[in-house]
Structure 1
C-alpha cells in the first residue's frame, strides 16, 4: 500500500467516524449560539443605553444634546467592541484553543508593540480627555488647523469632521493641539452698509433703526434686537454704517444675509441710494477742439 492509499484510507476513516460529526455539529451549534447571543446583547445593550439617556433628558439632571449625542455614539462603539472580543474568545474555546495562553502571549506582544505604538496610545489618551472635558461634541462646528466643519463622530483614536462642501477629515486625536469651537457660545452677525455721500445719513440711520427694532419678533435665531453702531468707515465714494446682531450659535451667516436684504429693500423704498461704481468716458479729440474754440 503506497502513501497515497494510506492518506486516502485515513481520510475515509476520519469522515466515517460518528464522534467527529457529533463534535462538528455541536461546535457549529455553539458558534451559532455565541453569535446569536452576541447580537442580542449588542441590540438590547444599545436599547438600554438609549433609554437611559432618554430618561436623563426628561429628568432634573439632564445633559446637553450635543454631549448626549457624543456619549451615545461612543458607548455604542464600546459595547460592540467588548462583545465582539468576548465572542471571539468564546469561539476560540470551541476549537479547543487555550485562550489563557493566547492572552498571556498577546500581553507580552502588546507590551513590545506598545513601545513602537506611542502615537496610538497618545491618540487614545487625547480622545479620552476630549470626551471627558467636553471640548467639542458631535454636531459642533469646529476649526482644527485650516479645516472647518461639523463633527460627525468622536472616537477614542480619531475624530471625523465634515466641511460645508462634503469633504470628510479624519484626524488622529493626538494631532489635535488647538481647537476653535463655534457652537458653544452665541454668534455675532456683522453687516456693513454703504450709503452714498449725496444722501442724508441721519435720515438713513433713522429708517434702518426702525427696521431693526421689528426684526427680533420675525427671526427666532436672533437673541436680541440688532444694533446700529453708526458710521464705521468713511471711504472714497461711500459712508459705511455697521449693524451687529447677536444670534444663536452658527446662525450669524443666515441672519447677516437677512439683514442685508431687508435693509437694501428698505433703502430702495425710501429712495436712498447705495453707492456703486461709475465709469466716465471722454474723447480727447473733442476736448482739444473745445479748448481751441474757447481760445
Structure 2
C-alpha cells in the first residue's frame, strides 16, 4: 500500500508541476508559430514567384508561355516541399529530439529502404526529364495512356491531367511512357458536308468556295484559308464534300462548328437542301393471261 501511495503522490506532484505545464504550453505555442510562419512564407513565396514571371512576361526576351507556367508551378511545388521539411525539423527540435542523430540514422536506414523507394526515385527522375525535354507543359492538351485532357500541374513526382468533363487524373511520372501532345503544332479542322444526289455538285462547290474566301478573315484562329478538297464519299442517299482548315492548336473543334454553321446557312440561302432518308416503293402488277 505504501508503494502505491508513493507512486500516486509522485504522479500528483508531476501533474501539478507548474514548470511542466509552462514548458508544455511554450512547446505547443512554438509548434503553432512554426506552422503559421511556414504557411505565410509559402504564400508569400508563391506570390513572389507569380510576380517574377509576370514581370518576365513583359520582357523583350522571354521563353514560351507554356514553359513559364510549367516552371512557375514547379517552383511553387519545390518551395512547399522545402518549407514544410524545414518546419518539421524545427518541430522535432522543439520536442527535444536530436535532429542531427536522427538524420544520420535516416541515412543508414535510407540504404536499407533504398530498394523499396525505387518507384519514388523513378517518378522524380522522369518528372525532371519531362520538364527538361519539354515533352508537355501546363496548359497543353495531351493524351497519356487512356487519359486525355489539359495539363493542370507537373510536379516532381506526379502530373495532373484534367479531362473536359472535369475529372482530374493524378499520374505518377514514372508511369508516363507515351505522350500525345495536341498543343505543339497547329490543328486541322475537318468538316464534311452532305448533299443530295439530285444537287448540282459543281454549283455547290462554287457556292462553298465563295463562302470560304469570305470566312478566312472572319475568325482569328484560322491560320491558313479553308480548302475544299472535293467529293469525299458516296453513300446510299448522299454525296459528301470535305472542307479542311489549318487553325491554331486545339481550336479545330470551335472552327469546325463555325464552318458547319456558316456553310449550312449559305447552302439554305441558295436552295441547296441537306439530304434526308427516302424510300421509293414500286408496285408491280402481274399480267393475267
Q: TM-score, normalised by structure 2?
A: 0.91
The whole-number CA distance in structure 2 between the counterparts of 1:154 and 1:250 is 20
The whole-number CA distance in structure 2 between the counterparts of 1:21 and 1:168 is 47
The count of aligned residue pairs is: 289
Give the superposition deviation at 1:236.
4.8
Q: What pairs up with 1:98-113 in 2 under 5 angstroms?
A: 98-113=98-113
Name the stretch that deviates more: 166-175 or 234-243.
234-243
Q: Look up the match of 2:139.
A: 139
The whole-number CA distance in structure 1 between the counterparts of 2:146 and 2:18 is 67
Distance change >3 Å, CA 50–CA 168, structure 1 → 2: closer
Gaps of 5+ in 2: none
Q: Look up the match of 2:30.
A: 30
Judge conservation of contact 1:56–1:63 (CA < 8 Å) in 2.
no
Q: What pairs up with 1:56-95 in 2 under 5 angstroms?
A: 56-95=56-95
Q: Look up the match of 1:269.
A: 269
Distance change >3 Å, CA 163–CA 93, structure 1 → 2: same
The whole-number CA distance in structure 2 between the counterparts of 1:277 and 1:246 is 33
Give the superposition deviation at 1:63.
2.7
Paired residue secondary structure (2:281): coil
Gaps of 5+ in 1: none
The whole-number CA distance in structure 2 between the counterparts of 1:32 and 1:274 is 71
Distance change >3 Å, CA 22–CA 239, structure 1 → 2: closer
Q: What pairs up with 1:95-244 in 2 under 5 angstroms?
A: 95-244=95-244
Judge conservation of contact 1:191–1:256 (CA < 8 Å) in 2.
yes
Give the superposition deviation at 1:235.
4.2
Give the superposition deviation at 1:21.
3.8
Q: Are 2:281 and 1:246 equivalent residues in the alignment? A: no
- Tell me how large the CA RMSD over aligned residues is: 2.1
Q: TM-score, normalised by structure 1?
A: 0.89
